Structure 1
Amino acid sequence: MSMALEEHDLAADEAGAQSPRTTARAGASSPSTKAARHALITRILAKERIRSQAQLRDVLASHGVSTTQATLSRDLVELRATKIRSAGGRQEYAIPETSVPGQAPTGAPVRDDGTLADHTTARLTRWCADLLVTVEWAGGQVVLRTLPGAAELLASAVDDAMMPGILGCIAGDNTVLVITRSEEISAEVSGHLLALADSRPRL
Structure 2
Amino acid sequence: MAMTAVPGAAPQTKAARQARIRALLAGSAVRSQAELAALLADDGVQVTQATLSRDLVEIGAVRVRGADGGLVYAVRGEGGDRSPRLGQAPEVLDARLAKLCAELLVTAESSANIVVLRTPPGAANFLALAIDHSVIPSILGTIAGDDTVMIVTRDPSGGEAVAARFLELASQGA
Task: Name the TM-score class by shorter chain.
Answer: 0.3 to 0.5
What is the TM-score of this pair, normalised by structure 2? 0.47
Structure with bigger gyration radius: 1
